[in-house]
Amino acid sequence: MSDASVMIVGIGNPDRGDDAVGRLVARRLRAMVGPGVAVVEHDGEAASLLDRLAGARTAFLIDACVSGAPPGTARRIDLGTDAGILPDLQFGLSTHGFGLAEAIALGRALGSLPPRAIVYAIEAGSFETGGGLTRAVADAVGTVAKQVAEEVMQDA
């Protein structure tokens, strides 16, 4: 539960290579947005993530993804208008079984997503345990952070 009406959530496992990118974007954003914006890092577990989002009016969710695009490719998905873009995922279709896709699907089914939710999905190159970011993904951190910061300003 949060009192902040605008929330930025960086999602990922900090110790699995490019999976950390969402968290790193969030860390970058801490210094870029005002005190009224909640910036949190999260492991992405669906139930806990939904709970974290409760009360937010606008949520920016930043996570690593895999789609076959070149690593570092960033996509913006407005869950309000691009509803058909995310495939209708079931639990278990991602390797973790209970990640962001499930949180979104579950939140939709329960009507508990924030009224406005924007996903930034950054294509990962490697999920190597203990590995750092691949170069193209590291390059995307600043770009995505800047884009989110601009959106937050417009939203305010």
Binding-site ranges for other proteins (CB under 8 A): 12-13, 15-17, 19, 43-45, 47-48, 50-51, 63-67, 69, 73-77, 82, 85-87, 89-102, 105-106, 109-112, 121, 124, 127, 129, 147
What is the smallest separation between the CB atom of 135 and other proteins, expressed in angstroms? 19
Nearest distance from residue 4's CB to other proteins, in Å?
A: 19
98-115 burial: b if 16+ Cβ within 10 Å, else e:
bbbbbbbbbbeeeeebbe
Closest contact distance (angstroms) between CB of 85 and other proteins is: 6
Q: Nearer Cβ to other proteins, position 19 or 36?
A: 19
Q: How far is CA 79 from CA 83, 98, 109, 125, 132, in A?
A: 5, 18, 13, 25, 30
